[in-house]
Structure 1
């Protein structure tokens, strides 16, 4: 995965519009940035910022977190794909016309997994049949990261699979794995739906 550059993720300020934010919190992005700058948020932790937004400005918890992330991204304290602890992560999801049991086994069973995820070594840490998997993920270059797979059952033969990929090195790796998981989950969908 290393060697790839560029970042395809969007800042939260691009995903959550000024209008939607104002409707939910009473302030748009520029107003939040002004309030947080005046409070000295650039020298505060993510938790402190979110708490301040929630407790002092009565914003719902999800919006308080979103405002904190948006502020951190806008002020260069955090990049897209970077957690509040500095860890890099990405995720992907896909709806597959297959049972939860079949989808999770496609991650847990080595032979099936190699058919849609051929160039990675996966070592299971936890496996809850038809529910979830966590695993160490070693790429072709020998770098080990961590994946968490969760399922949402929409119907007996319709499952949404979500993959969270953590312990990535930087924004370039986040961008590369975003594309990687889009491609690999499409391959999984194709395999299970054929």
Structure 2
């Protein structure tokens, strides 16, 4: 019996005993044992021996993957880090599968939670050259954020109120779609693109404002938009922190 098979049996035994989900039971055992189970060597051939989809470069490390979730957090929650998941996906032949098939395989065969399965799948696609960083189903996206030393309500108003917004984001078409004050805002932007703002209170007088700009045409446009939002949010921060003009 391989170590991996033995570990799965212990996970399922704990599920039967406690009623926990596969992911929760797995995380408990990984934390208790101090290390995740190693992949079965019979099914995980070295990456260098596995063919990639035509035109897809396979880098030796995870340097190119999305930094949305750290390797430590992934290991702690799922029992494996990026490299271990990538090895399993390679052995399964994931470079010839669709995004949906990969995510479903992680959920069904390995008990990975849906959100974490998507995280691993997107990172794998980026690392294997199947997806450009920032690329989504409806185009490309970028994000930027700043922490401002004012309450969340004040930052929210500076984004939602047209007169206030004109001080730091002039000459841009902006139409609010939905708003949940003072936490989040969705808006239509110029060129058929979309904006999603999140406002996170860090204290009574400190707020992090983050924006995701999506439905962009290509990676170059996303890079330009990222630079623009960094500049505009810095302007917003300066205006709010200097007080009323």
List per-residue Cα deviations over 1:84-108 (Å, max 9, x = no partner): x252111122111112221111111
Residue 153 of structure 1 aligns to a residue in which SS? strand
- Give 1:17 shift: 6.7
Q: How many matched pairs?
A: 180
Report 1:175-186 matches (<5 A): 175-186=223-234
Using the TM superposition, give the Cα deviation of residue 32 of structure 1 relative to its aligned residue in structure 2, in angstroms: 3.1
More strand by share: 1
Within a 5 Å distance, the mapping from 1:1-194 to structure 2 comes to: 11-12=64-65, 25-83=78-136, 85-138=137-190, 143-194=191-242
The CA deviation at 1:49 is 1.1
Partner of 2:31: none
Q: 1:122 to 1:11 in 2, by over 3 A?
A: same
* Structure 1 residues 63 and 37: CA distance shift in structure 2, 3 A: same
Unaligned runs of 5+ in 1: 1-9
Question: How far is the alpha carbon of 1:81 from its aligned partner?
Answer: 0.3
For 2:186 and 2:78, the matched residues in 1 are separated by 36
Distance 2:204 2:148 in 1: 11
Stretches of structure 2 lacking an aligned partner (at least 5 in a row): 1-62
Q: Check the 8 A contact 1:92/1:164 in 2, yes or no.
A: yes
- Aligned Cα root-mean-square deviation (Å): 2.5
**Deviation at residue 34 of structure 1 after TM alignment:** 3.4
Shift of 1:189: 0.6
* Larger radius of gyration between Structure 1 and Structure 2: 2
What CA distance in whole angstroms lies between the structure 2 residues aligned with 1:149 and 1:101? 13
- Tell me: higher relative CO, structure 1 or 2? Use CA pairs within 8 A at least 6 residues apart: 1
Secondary structure of 2:198's aligned partner: strand
**Under a length normalisation based on structure 1, what TM-score does the superposition of the two structures give?**
0.78
The TM-score normalised by the length of structure 2 is 0.64
Q: In the alignment, is the contact (CA less than 8 A) between 1:100 and 1:159 conserved in 2?
A: yes
SS at match of 1:79: coil
In structure 1, the residue matched to 2:22 is: none
